[in-house]
């Protein structure tokens, strides 16, 4: 993002390359968290299934 003073105001302009890089990074972080949460869910379901005496 670039700021340009215009009188008493500041005009902001998005740097599209930086924004695209940030979007890619956030998508990767999101994928990582999705994978972690899915593993936790599978473990929890496995424990729950074992506590009930097997799958239903």
Q: Percentage of the chain surpassing pLDDT 90?
A: 82
pLDDT of residue 17: 95
CA separation for the pair 18, 25 (Å, rounded)? 11
**Dihedral through CA 40, CA 41, CA 47, CA 48, nearest 10?**
150
Q: How confident is the model at residue 55 (pLDDT cuts 50, 70, 90)?
A: low
Against a cut of 0.85, is the pTM above it?
Answer: no
Q: What DSSP string runs through 20-39? A: HHHHHHHHHHHHHHHHHHHH
- At 34 the three-state DSSP class reads helix
Residue whose C-alpha is closest to residue 1's, from 12, 11, 10? 12
Q: How confident is the model at residue 13 (pLDDT cuts 50, 70, 90)?
A: very high
State yes or no: pLDDT of 56 exceeds 80: no
């Amino acid at each position: 993002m670039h700021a340009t003073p215009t009188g008493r105001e500041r005009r902001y302009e998005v740097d599209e390359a930086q924004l695209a890089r940030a979007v890619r990074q956030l998508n990767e972080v999101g994928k990582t968290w999705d994978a972690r949460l899915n593993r936790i869910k599978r473990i929890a379901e496995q424990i729950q299934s074992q506590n009930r005496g097997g799958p239903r």
